Structure 1
């Protein structure tokens, strides 16, 4: 299902009075988490109508699929269809408070690396919205070696400073077959830079490994150790996460026993990440903020939850998607602008 209301759910499908009552009921349910009765609606809506009239309107809204009646209560709660109508036709987005804006600006400092910004964005979203924050990690561009430096540490440890592509600097510590002197490390770095600078990292490593295998019986132990050092230094981690989820525990607050069972299934989906990544891949192909309510996500495990996402860019291309996932009973008027502003701020930080 596309993230749009259908032709039969346009804003004129129900009367203005019904819209006021539906909006009031949903807002009350979001804030209290309880079924809403006609007396409560009469007091909260400000409409000069009787309780009987309100009951008739609510009954009509239930028949149309906007509301449902829990077995344990005479009140009603919104359905996913009711929330969809609310988000598309009745929602008034609230301006984000300045404190939250400053919190985001501080956390998304453009001086941070891409990896740090991605991790920060997911955590910031969770902290500000009190939902689970999520973000897809940008696919790495093929790395091209610019320069490598080796600095000796204690024992058999060496600090590797790797300059990749135009200006990406990677630091890592590796363990070598034997201790190296500073002069030996300088010579090893010079050898790698002279022979391989400007070539793809994967190609360089494949060349080094092949050379180690072919010349194992013909080179001395120092050169063998040097090639091993260079190979380890250029080893790129291909097992990095495709998606970062932060703040899952926030979804546990106030959950009932039935909701806990559903949360366990959701957490399993977070672990597998397959369904989540498929959904986020769809989101990355859309423009602006997307809101998926319940089954609209296309996966049964998300049936009682809403996913709100927005793409982020580096100024030239879409790098990924960020957003939040939480119960359908969430404060959409606040969460939607938070997701939107976070995506814009992250894009700005990555562009700089």
Structure 2
């Protein structure tokens, strides 16, 4: 347990380091904390904080910087968030996809870091499906939702089907499965495979998997990746920058992180190096779930350096999650 003096010094050190990104020395810390302490006393407290793993001393400087553990203690026990009024751009849009895209852009523009939004999870239902033969083994799948949305995907079949075979398969799907959720269709098709002609069964399985693959591609919307180029923590270390862009490119780990965020209420902060959730040091995520008609359906957040102004990020993420909730819940 830290005494009040040690907590105040750690808080002052973290805030100063967030502000200018330079290791903080004893003299600077004395002024920043407002405590009437001798440099020797401050150095002793700093040594204790370093022993606890809350701060570290870079090789090139006598000053100290916060560790991931130090940031976590700061965020959990010392952070004061001022609820200032923010008037961001309207998220209103006719299509939910536009609301999500606008939210990602809003997060990145307000934070000057990277905005991410996990799109709402919705049960996929198809009203109608068609197959069109494009060429040998290339088939266009056309899926129409109950709302009239149309998805087009090209699949590569294991056999060369005639248009008559494709029409027969589409008719079978439409007559037996129209109106069902895709998850239900997939399960039923698995059970029917044994009783259907092998090639037709393969085509049906490929078709019902198309929608799932398409929705995964659109699950995460990312905006403002280039903002990291202006952050010294990344621009000075190409390895960190490369790993960050790999995270945005692959999306799988990002989805896992946002999925964890959706399981908790309110704003959550993930600090790099604490666990496998955030893949590497120097990266932090501030996230919050959003709702539609009282049900949590997705998560949004800001990704930036571990040295970020957490108080401001909490405000931005919290307010944006409320705006998205309102925009999506009020649609008719």
Q: How high is the TM-score relative to the length of structure 2?
A: 0.73
Give yes or no for the alignment of 1:117 onto 2:117.
no
Give yes or no for the alignment of 1:323 onto 2:301.
yes
Give yes or no for the alignment of 1:71 onto 2:71.
no
Q: Report the secondary structure of 1:302's partner residue.
A: coil
1:200-233 CA-partner distances (Å, limit 9, x unpaired)? 5978xx9xxxxxxxxxxxxxxxxxxxxxxxxxxx
How far apart are residue 61 of structure 1 and its match? Answer: 0.7
Question: What residue in structure 2 maps to residue 153 of structure 1?
Answer: none
Question: What residue in structure 2 maps to residue 210 of structure 1?
Answer: none
C-alpha contact (below 8 Å) 1:145/1:201 kept by paired residues:
no
C-alpha contact (below 8 Å) 1:279/1:297 kept by paired residues:
no
C-alpha contact (below 8 Å) 2:69/2:274 kept by paired residues:
no
Question: What residue in structure 2 maps to residue 264 of structure 1?
Answer: 242
Task: Report the aligned-residue RMSD.
Answer: 3.1
Question: What residue in structure 2 maps to residue 192 of structure 1?
Answer: none
Give yes or no for the alignment of 1:251 onto 2:228.
yes
Q: Report the secondary structure of 2:88's partner residue.
A: helix
Question: What residue in structure 2 maps to residue 30 of structure 1?
Answer: 18
Residues matched between the structures, number: 272
Question: What residue in structure 1 maps to residue 253 of structure 2?
Answer: 275
Give unpaired runs (5+ residues) of structure 2. 129-141, 154-174, 190-209
Question: Please, which of 9, 19, 22 is the counterpart of residue 7 of structure 2?
Answer: 19
C-alpha contact (below 8 Å) 2:278/2:284 kept by paired residues:
no
Question: Please, which of 127, 130, 144 is the counterpart of residue 109 of structure 2?
Answer: 127
C-alpha contact (below 8 Å) 2:257/2:278 kept by paired residues:
no
Q: What aligned pairs does 1:135-284 form with structure 2 within 5 A after superposition?
A: 135-143=117-125, 145=127, 164-165=145-146, 168=147, 170=149, 199-200=179-180, 238-239=213-214, 240-255=217-232, 258-284=236-262
Give yes or no for the alignment of 1:308 onto 2:296.
no
C-alpha contact (below 8 Å) 1:292/1:306 kept by paired residues:
yes
Aligned-partner Cα distance in 1 for 2:25–2:289: 39
How far apart are residue 346 of structure 1 and its match? Answer: 0.5
Give unpaired runs (5+ residues) of structure 1. 1-12, 147-159, 175-194, 207-234
Q: Report the secondary structure of 1:296's partner residue.
A: coil
How far apart are residue 281 of structure 1 and its match? Answer: 1.3
Question: What residue in structure 2 maps to residue 337 of structure 1?
Answer: 315
Aligned-partner Cα distance in 2 for 1:297–1:314: 30
Q: How high is the TM-score relative to the length of structure 1?
A: 0.69
Aligned-partner Cα distance in 1 for 2:68–2:150: 48
Question: What residue in structure 2 maps to residue 92 of structure 1?
Answer: 80
Deviates more, 1:57-66 or 1:135-144: 135-144
C-alpha contact (below 8 Å) 1:134/1:246 kept by paired residues:
yes
